[in-house]
Amino acid sequence: MSKSTATTTFSDFLRSPKDVLGVLEDNGEVVLTRRNAPALRLTQESASRAELSTLGVVGQLFAASLDEAALDRVATRLAVALPWIGLLPASLHAEFVAEFQDTARACIAVARFDRLAILLEAWRATAEAYADPRLTADGSDLEHLDVAEVVAAPGRDA
């Protein structure tokens, strides 16, 4: 029997947890909808671990298949999902993909993806800096800091 996702309300879960757990057993996972809040996903830990294990293998396969030329091709394809990559100089594409790949593999290993979100936001901010029309296209007039500095918000007098 093929398992699929069932949906019920969070209130139903609170009123009849055994019934919802029965649905979980039958369907593999249950999405609990909540009023004015994001939905919650109930799944068996074994299924979640299997998903993470599979992602880990895919990540390892992805990493093993990339050489220098492949990193540039991956960046080009990633630009469809992350269009801001196109604002980065081509010389940074391979660095972005390599850093993304390393961070994604590490996140998969510990089942926490916060660092990957931080990395993506940092690279997106870098792309925004390169997009500034007041700067050179290659970013040669950008100053890279080794230590973060607090600066005034743009457009405000310091």
CA–CA gap between residue 110 and residue 55 (Å, rounded):
12
State the pLDDT confidence band at 144, using cuts at 50, 70 and 90: confident
CA–CA gap between residue 20 and residue 33 (Å, rounded):
13
Quote the pLDDT of residue 1: 43
DSSP string, 128-158: HHHH-TTS-TT-TT----SS----PPTTS--
Across 71-75, average pLDDT: 74
CA–CA gap between residue 68 and residue 136 (Å, rounded):
26
CA–CA gap between residue 84 and residue 82 (Å, rounded):
6
Same domain, yes or no: 16 and 81: no
Measured in degrees and rounded to the nearest 5, phi and psi for residue 40 equal -115, 150
CATH number at residue 25: 3.40.1620
* 149 within some domain: no
CA 24 distance to own-chain centroid? 27
CA–CA gap between residue 117 and residue 113 (Å, rounded):
7
pLDDT 10s digits, 81-132: 899 998 888 888 888 888 988 898 888 888 788 999 999 999 999 999 888 8
pLDDT 10s digits, 11-66: 999 999 899 998 888 888 899 999 999 999 888 888 877 887 787 777 777 766 76
Q: Of 111, 105, 101, which Cα lies nearest the Cα of 52?
A: 111
Range of the domain at 26: 5-43
Number of domains the chain is built from: 2
CB 131 within 8 A of CB 87: yes
* 55 within some domain: yes
User: For residues 21 and 70, which has the higher predicted lDDT (pLDDT)?
Assistant: 21
Same domain, yes or no: 60 and 94: yes
CB 33 within 8 A of CB 10: yes
